[in-house]
A and B are shown apart, each in its own frame.
Chain A
C-alpha cells in the first residue's frame, strides 16, 4: 500500500510548530461563534457579572470614605478611597472572571456536557478549543472591564489618558489567570476539586492590597503578597490609572507574560490527556 502523505503541520503557521502535531486547525473562531449563540439567550447572566465590582466600588468607596480618609497612591499622590480601590477592583474582577471561566465552566463542560468530545470528533484540534474558550473569556472580560472603566471615567477618578491602557492590561491579567486556571483544571478529577480554586482566589482577592496599602503588613507578609500575581495586577492598574509610570511596570507585565506562557504551555501539553482518552 502506498501512503505518500503530506508532512504534518506543513501548512500550520510557524507559531504553532513547537506544538505536538494535530493540535491546531486554525479554527478557534467557530468555538467563539458557538459561545455567542449560547449566550445570546443568556445575556442577563453575562450582564450580571458586570455589576459585582461596581457594587463593591459604590459600597466601599462611599461608605468607607470617612473612616479611611485619603490614601497614598502611586507616586505619593493622595487619592480618595474610591479612586484607590477602583483600579484594584478592576484587576480583581479580571482575575475572578477569568478563573471562573477557565475552571468551573471548562470543568463542567468537559465532565458533564461532553461538549469537547463532540468538538474533538470534528477537524478541530484541542488547541482550537482551548484558544476559543480562552478567547471567549477574554472578550467577556474585556466587555466588563470596558464597562467598569466607563464608570470610572464618569466618576472622575481617572487621572490621565494612561488610564485607557488599563483595558489591555486587564486583558493581559485575565489571559494569564485564565491560562493558569485552565492548566490547573486539566489536573482536576472531581468537582469538589474546584473548592481548591476558591482557596487560592479568595485570599488573593482579600490580601493583595485591593483595600489598603501593603505597609500595614509585617515585612514577611508584605513580601509574600508581593509575589502573588494579583498584587502585580493591582499595582499595574493603579499606576496606569494614576498616570504615574515607572520601569517596575514592565516587571508586572513580564510577570503576567510568563504566567500566560506557562499556563498555555502546560495546558497544551495536558490537553490531549484531558480531552482525548
Chain B
C-alpha cells in the first residue's frame, strides 16, 4: 500500500481555521427530567482521533448527535468548526461526515443511488460524484451489489454502506457512532486502514466504540463517560497508567470457587494499588508483576484450572472506572 506522499491538509479556505474543531463547555442534554449528558467539557483539535467510551446509556450517542448538529443542546456551549450549531447548522454539517449508531439508509433506493443522492444533499455535482461513488463502492466492497436495493442487504453490508456514505463529501470531521458494530473482522480492518489514512490527511475523527482494541488502535485521546459525565480522560496509555496496574493475572477456578479464592488471594497482594476483581468466570489480579502473583497463589495452596498473565489494557481501565463489563 502506498502512503500518501505528503500530509495533505484539509481544505480550510472556506472558513477561518480554529485550532479546536470541537469545543464544548458544560454540554448538557436532557430528555424531560432525565439528564443524558451532564455538563461535559470536550475539546478536539484539528487532526486528532478522539474517542468516547462508556457503558450503554452513558450518553455517548446523545453527545455525538449534538456534535453532529442534529440534536439541539439543552445548555452549555458548543462550537463546531468555530461555528454555532443553532444558527449555522447547515454550514457545519456540510463539512461533517456522520455514521449514526443506527443506519439511516434510504431503503427505497439502490446502493449506488444512496451514495449519489446523499452527495447531492451536500450540493455536489453529478460529475464530481461519479468517480467518488465508484471509489466508495469499492471501499465498502459493494461494487457487485451496486444496483441492488438496500433493503435486503445484510446488516454488515448496510453498515459498510453507511460508513461509505459518510465519506462522500470529504468531511473535515468524521463522526462515527459505533462504526464497526456488526462488521466482520476483515471489514473492520479495511475500515481501520481507511480511517488511519484519513487521519493522515488531516481529517479529525470522533468515534464511540465498545471495542477496546479499536479504541487503542485508532484514538489519540479518549474520554470514558458514565451516567452522562466524563470520568476519565487521556491517551490510551495514560489511562492505563493512571487507572490500572502494569500487568493482570487471570485465574480460572472451578465454578463457584472464584469468590472464595479471590478473598484468599486478596490478602496476598503487595500494596494498595494492587487488587483482585471477581468476574463470574474468573478472578483478575491487578498487579505490577503477574508471574510473581501467580507463584504466590500457588504457594498459598490455590490451584486454578487455568491461568495467564497479560498486560493491562483499556478494558481493565473501563472495568475499573465503570464497574461493569464492557458489553453488557
Contact = CB atoms under 8 A, between A and B. Distances in A.
Interface stretch (B13-21, B236-244, B295-303): B13-21
Contacts of A30: 117, 120-121, 123
A21 to B, nearest CB: 4
A3 B118 CA distance: 29
A27 interface: yes
Interface in A25-59: 25, 27, 30, 33-34, 37-38
A118 B87 contact: no
Contacts of A38: 108-109
A18 B85 CA distance: 18
Given A113-B107, A121-B98, A122-B93, A8 B88 contact: yes
A5 B88 contact: yes
A24 B90 CA distance: 8
Interface string B86-97: 111111011010
Contacts of B15: 5-6
Interface in B1-40: 15-16, 18-20, 23
B102 A122 contact: no
Helix, strand, loop or mixed for chain B's interface? loop
Contacts of A119: 121
B122 A122 contact: yes
Contacts of A113: 106-108
A73 B118 CA distance: 51
B121 A21 contact: no
A30 B119 CA distance: 10
Contacts of A4: 16, 82
Contacts of B85: 22
Nearest to A25: B90
Contacts of B103: 114
A114 B87 contact: no
A2 B120 contact: no
A276 B93 CA distance: 13
| B interface, size bucket | 35 or more
B104 A115 contact: yes
Contact of A3 (B71, B79, B122): B79
Given A5-B82, A34-B109, A276 B71 contact: yes
B104 A117 contact: yes
A33 B117 contact: yes
A239 B70 CA distance: 48
B104 A123 contact: no
A22 B69 CA distance: 10
B104 A125 contact: no
A75 B79 CA distance: 64
A120 interface: yes
**Taking each of A4, A5, A124, which has the highest tally of chain B beta carbons within 10 Å of its own beta carbon?**
A5
A215 interface: no
Nearest to A120: B70
A121 B72 contact: no
Nearest to A125: B90
B105 interface: yes
Contacts of B87: 8-9, 21-22
B84 to A, nearest CB: 7
A118 B90 contact: no
A33 B83 CA distance: 30
Contacts of A24: 90
A216 interface: no
20 contacts: A1-B82, A4-B82, A21-B86, A21-B87, A22-B90, A25-B90, A37-B113, A37-B117, A38-B108, A113-B108, A114-B103, A117-B70, A118-B118, A121-B98, A122-B118, A122-B121, A122-B169, A123-B90, A124-B121, A276-B72
| Chain A to chain B: the 6 pairs with minimum beta-carbon distance, closest first | A123-B94, A8-B87, A22-B89, A122-B121, A118-B104, A21-B87
